[in-house]
Amino acid sequence: MAHAANINFYQASHGWKSWLFTLDHKRIGMMYIVTTLLSFLIGGIFALLVRIELFSPGETIMSAATYNKLFTLHGAVMVFWFIIPSIPGALGNFFLPIMIGAKDVAFPRLNLFSYYLLITGMLFNVYSIVTGPIPDTGWTFYTPYSIQNSGAVISMVMGVFIMGFSSILTGLNFIVTVHKLRCPGMTWYRMPLFVWAIYGTSILQVMATPVLGITLLLLTIERYAGIGFFDPKLGGDPVLFQHFFWFYSHPAVYIMVLPAMGIISEIIPTMSQKTIFGYRAIAYSSLGLALVSFLVWGHHMFTSGQSELANFIFSLLTMATAVPSAVKMYNWSATIYKGSVSLTTPMLYALGFLFTFGIGGLTGITLGALSIDMHFHDTYFVVAHFHYVMMGGTAIALFAGLFYWFPKMTGKMYNECIGKLSFWIFFVGFNTTFIAQFVLGVNGMPRRYFDYLPMYTNWNRVSTVGSWLIGTAALLIVGNLFMSFFRGAKAPANPWNGKSLEWQAESPPVLENFAHTPTVTAGPYEYGVKHG
């Protein structure tokens, strides 16, 4: 095989088959980007429809039955098609090997298989949507309703089951890659923090996702055979379903947010031209967050009928989750302080993250307090909280990362003006949409309700208008990336003067990432440090 030193990975082979059957982690990463951004737009359309319905009390554009199906689809598509696969599959795949100086991930064929598992799972879901009846259980599929209702629950959860395996195999691949494929000189403490974050995420993917698998399998068997694990009439316990479900789904939210934090840890030092404050603290906090995330799932079940003892334990432990996240927030802020800050598009998104994830995290602690959650559970306060962490956390960081690494991935620059504009429209729209929902929640509006009391109308309208701004921003973001891919100006190899390994590679990288395997002698954020 020729050492394709001057041929970038796009030119290394041609034709659609060379993409669909590729073993190149970079091409697989690009395919994930396209798929997950498309999923974001689809899930976003469901959200816009939901918000239009909620513009006025009573029936606005759809019946209650349709509404229930739409919010179920919005949740399921956003969680399983978009948020979980996006950062690890797209940016993790593209950059993890490059950042540690490897030629590829440990198991390239498994990597491609992961991608096709995602597609297959999505097709199962499409099947359940097209043949119907679309499930209206909410994306959490709680029993006993999910057992009794007539929706296409089985095909939907089997799709999720398959997508779960995509996630597991990606995590497995990344763990082995980090352990076994680091280039000479790349010790653990010289790895970029994005790699630490992906590593923590991968542990969660491998350990927690199988429990979702068995949960959905049991749900399917219960629908067919009435085995009774979750049915009180047969001696079972519906709350046990919730234990099974949330044992995965709580670590899942850290699968969503840890990679996002990893991206922020990359952008902030580069855009401040200053070494990260507290490298080891941030690295350990990624692992710490992964560990603690296994201990708190019951805080989703405070009002479900858990025993007092369990409620108490889960509430207490939830407070601990604040610590690793807070460590990161402080360290990022300390990094920016007295740095030489460039307010480029990626940096704007990263700063936006600090604001929105801060709110999201703090309101999470609020909800973790048992006495408060008794009142806020199942209200719009919860909806606002998780949108602040998922959209104001993962999505905003994904956009930051896509802009940050766009020149490296494509060799071109995105449009900076539109980039900045899209940030401001997104930021204003996002906060409008969801601060309104905090207000609604505090005033007692329940979630997943098709109708509401007239007193909630005004804030609902504010929220809906905000959602239109988000929609506009989404189109600008995706449009900018798409157009710039074809028509953007040529970008240099290191437009931001980054110090981590990926900036030493070509833009776009060659097939095996580096012409010669690099030897690393310094950390990834050593700005202003002279090397021999």
Q: Which residues bind other proteins (CB under 8 A)?
A: 1, 102-104, 106-108, 110, 168, 172-173, 175-176, 179-184, 186-187, 206-211, 213-215, 217-218, 221-222, 225-229, 234-237, 239-240, 243-244, 247, 294-295, 297-298, 305-310, 313-314, 451, 453, 512
Q: Which is nearer to other proteins, 451 or 506 (CB)?
A: 451
Nearest approach in angstroms of CB 319 to other proteins is 16
Q: Which is nearer to other proteins, 44 or 368 (CB)?
A: 368
C-alpha distances in Å from residue 410, one per residue of 54, 91, 484? 41, 13, 9
| Distance of alpha carbon 47 from alpha carbon 53, whole angstroms | 10
Q: Which is nearer to other proteins, 200 or 498 (CB)?
A: 200
Amino acid identity, residue 231? D
Coil, strand or helix at 527? coil
Nearest approach in angstroms of CB 121 to other proteins is 16
Coil, strand or helix at 329? helix
Q: Which is nearer to other proteins, 42 or 206 (CB)?
A: 206
Nearest approach in angstroms of CB 343 to other proteins is 39
| Distance of alpha carbon 294 from alpha carbon 39, whole angstroms | 28
Q: Which is nearer to other proteins, 147 or 263 (CB)?
A: 147
Q: Which is nearer to other proteins, 77 or 186 (CB)?
A: 186
- Peptide bond just before 446 cis, omega within 30 deg: no
List the structure tokens of 519: 């030897």
| Distance of alpha carbon 278 from alpha carbon 197, whole angstroms | 15
Nearest approach in angstroms of CB 243 to other proteins is 5
Residues 502/408, Cβ–Cβ less than 8 Å:
yes
Count of residues for the chain?
Answer: 532
**Crossing angle between the packed helical segments 457-487 and 25-53, to the nearest 10 degrees:** 150
Nearest approach in angstroms of CB 286 to other proteins is 16
Nearest approach in angstroms of CB 137 to other proteins is 20
Q: Which is nearer to other proteins, 185 or 492 (CB)?
A: 185
Nearest approach in angstroms of CB 382 to other proteins is 20
Q: Where are the alpha helices (DSSP H) in 303-395?
A: 308-320, 322-336, 345-368, 370-376, 380-389
Q: Which residue has the tokens 């790349």?
A: 186
